[in-house]
């Protein structure tokens, strides 16, 4: 970080053009001079961390890192918590005690398994192409079986949503229920002719934004940047933390810890971006696929969510009043 070169910025641009230069400088300085990774490591090591070797068809065995918090309550429900990008197992850390106790909040207690996705965090790297949603689903289902959970529930948001849905298709019997903090929307149909025509033209002419092209068609290209520059990785991830976290007041230390998990990951920061390429191919592609018969769903959505989404997924609709949160 001592030899990094910052770009320029426009006066008064704020967040309109991406992560503000002032924020990047401020957090990069903190990361370089004040942030204590050893202290962050100690807090992470305070969690019940484990590594399991999981055999996935067509691939070398994968070393999967996961946090495994068992509840002391009788009849606790096994729960797998599936993160996305740019997430991590740390998403579950604050609610582990709540989930383990359960009864105090009026809900069931849970045995929680929160794994790092392959290519993320402390899980091992995937060394050949073709590791898509089917393989992620197989990895996590086999992990839960290895932990002795023949039936379990799932929580998934972002890529965790897509992985959870594929698990429902491949392994419906062990699933007791699924909670989704993201629901994919369906593309426009002929019932909305202008929107349908616009999408069709964009797809035929490949009129994708630079971000769409980088994420879906060229993960290797963006990979050079995030692997070479810690400041660039910070700016790339912090933009998403800012935009996707419902105005959560991130501290500099939290951002540095979050980004450090990518910078110091076993597979390297570039490997995580491949999740935007592989799931667009293969047997199970990332998409909004509607209701899967027999799968009990609960979803946390914002107040602006459209009711047809609930009907498409056959979701039970309730409207608890909360100040913040949701997708």
Mark whether 249 and 292 lie in a shared domain.
no
What ranges make up the beta strands (E) of 142-299? 152-156, 175-180, 297-299
Structural domain span for residue 250 = 16-39+216-276
Q: Where does the pLDDT of residue 260 fall: very low under 50, low under 70, confident under 90, or very high at 90 and above?
A: very high
Tell whether 304 is covered by a domain: yes
Mark whether 81 and 118 lie in a shared domain.
yes
Contact 244, 181 (CB under 8 A): no
The partner residues of 53 in beta bridges, in order of sequence, read 63
pLDDT attached to residue 104 = 64
What is the CB-side half-sphere exposure of residue 86 using CA atoms within 13 A?
27
Mark whether 25 and 94 lie in a shared domain.
no
pLDDT attached to residue 259 = 97
User: How far, rounded to the nearest angstrom, does the alpha carbon of residue 142 sit from its chain's CA centroid?
Assistant: 19
**Separation of alpha carbons 21 and 6, rounded Å:** 8
pLDDT in tens, 268-313: 999 999 998 888 777 776 555 666 666 665 555 554 444 454 554 5
Tokens representing residue 235 in the block: 């700016």
pLDDT attached to residue 79 = 96
Mark whether 140 and 79 lie in a shared domain.
yes
What is the CB-side half-sphere exposure of residue 270 using CA atoms within 13 A?
14
Tell whether 100 is covered by a domain: yes
Tokens representing residue 223 in the block: 């990979």
Tell whether 252 is covered by a domain: yes
**Separation of alpha carbons 55 and 282, rounded Å:** 19
* Residue 171 DSSP symbol: -
Mark whether 245 and 182 lie in a shared domain.
no
Mean local confidence (pLDDT), 229-238: 95
Overall pTM > 0.85 = no
Tokens representing residue 65 in the block: 């890192």
The answer, yes or no, to whether residue 203 has pLDDT greater than 70, is no
Tell whether 210 is covered by a domain: no
pLDDT in tens, 108-118: 899 999 999 99
Mark whether 191 and 139 lie in a shared domain.
yes
Mark whether 292 and 143 lie in a shared domain.
yes
Given CA atoms 157, 162, 167, 168 in this order, what sign does their dihedral have?
A: positive
What is the CB-side half-sphere exposure of residue 99 using CA atoms within 13 A?
21
Residue 119, Ramachandran bin (φ over 0: left; ψ between -120 and 50: alpha; else beta):
left
């Amino acid at each position: 970080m001592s030899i990094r070169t910052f770009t320029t910025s426009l006066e008064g641009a704020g967040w309109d053009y991406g992560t503000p230069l002032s924020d990047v400088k401020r957090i990069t300085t903190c990361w370089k001079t004040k942030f204590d990774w050893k202290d962050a490591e100690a807090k992470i090591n305070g969690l019940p961390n484990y590594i399991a070797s999981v055999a996935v068809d067509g691939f070398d065995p994968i070393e999967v890192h996961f946090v495994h918090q068992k509840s002391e309550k009788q009849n606790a429900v096994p729960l797998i918590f599936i993160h996305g990008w740019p997430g991590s197992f740390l998403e579950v850390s604050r609610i582990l005690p709540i989930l383990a106790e359960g009864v105090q909040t009026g809900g069931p207690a849970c045995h929680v398994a929160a794994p790092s996705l392959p290519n993320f965090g402390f899980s091992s790297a995937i060394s050949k192409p073709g590791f898509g949603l089917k393989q992620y689903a197989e990895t996590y289902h086999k992990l839960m079986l290895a932990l002795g959970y023949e039936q379990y529930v799932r929580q998934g948001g972002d890529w965790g949503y897509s992985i959870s849905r594929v698990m429902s298709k491949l392994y419906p019997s062990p699933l007791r229920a699924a909670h989704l903090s993201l629901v994919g929307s369906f593309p426009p149909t002929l019932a909305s002719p202008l929107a349908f025509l616009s999408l069709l033209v964009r797809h035929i002419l490949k009129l994708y934004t630079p971000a769409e092209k980088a994420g879906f068609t060229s993960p290797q290209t963006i990979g050079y940047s995030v692997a070479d520059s810690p400041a660039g990785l910070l700016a790339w991830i912090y933009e998403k933390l800012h935009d996707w976290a419902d105005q959560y007041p991130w501290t500099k230390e939290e951002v540095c810890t979050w980004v450090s998990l990518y910078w110091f990951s076993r597979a390297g920061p570039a490997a995580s971006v491949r999740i935007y390429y592989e799931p667009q191919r293969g047997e199970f592609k990332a998409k909004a696929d509607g209701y899967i018969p027999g799968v009990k769903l609960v979803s946390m959505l914002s107040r602006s969510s459209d009711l047809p989404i609930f009907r498409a997924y056959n979701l039970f609709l309730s409207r608890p009043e909360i100040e913040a949160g949701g997708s």
